[in-house]
Amino acid sequence: MAMLCSRTVIRNRNAGFHVNLADIDGDGDLDAMVEDSTRATSVYLNDGAGHFTISEMTLPETSVWGDLDSDGDVDVFFKEDGVGYTSMLNDGTGNFTHNWAYEDTTVKSTHILT
């Protein structure tokens, strides 16, 4: 079972970054998502011994992690420039697909992006 933990462990507003930990690939260890205000979120996968390898996966900055669809894995909700608020669902192995977006101007419409 995936470890559900999403917690900001480092936040430095002056430097414009923070780190979240969650098991995004479902292997039972905590992975790290490093959000930097100057670029997208970088994902570092844990090998189970505390050694991290940067993933090819990148996500927009300013994200919140949690199990949005109650399937036991960690999904992500974030603000995406030009779109608004977006959610992406995890397939349980760290592969994410767009699921939902909401325009950020006013309550106009909801889009399913899949």
By beta-carbon proximity to Ca ion, the closer residue of 31 and 61 is 31
Shortest reach from residue 68's CB to Ca ion, in Å: 6
Stretch touching Ca ion by CB under 5 A, among 4-12, 13-21, 69-77, 101-109: 69-77
Asked whether position 71 contacts Ca ion by CB under 5 A, the answer is yes
Residue 6 three-state SS: coil
Task: Name the residue among 41, 16, 45 with its Cα closest to residue 32.
Answer: 45
Interacting residues with Ca ion between 18 and 57 (CB under 5 A): 23, 25, 27, 29, 31
Separation of alpha carbons 97 and 89, rounded Å: 5
Stretch touching Ca ion by CB under 5 A, among 5-13, 15-23, 54-62, 100-108: 15-23
Separation of alpha carbons 7 and 5, rounded Å: 6
- As a residue count, the chain comes to 114
Asked whether position 67 contacts Ca ion by CB under 5 A, the answer is yes
By beta-carbon proximity to Ca ion, the closer residue of 16 and 72 is 72
Task: Name the residue among 26, 30, 31, 28 with its Cα closest to residue 42.
Answer: 31
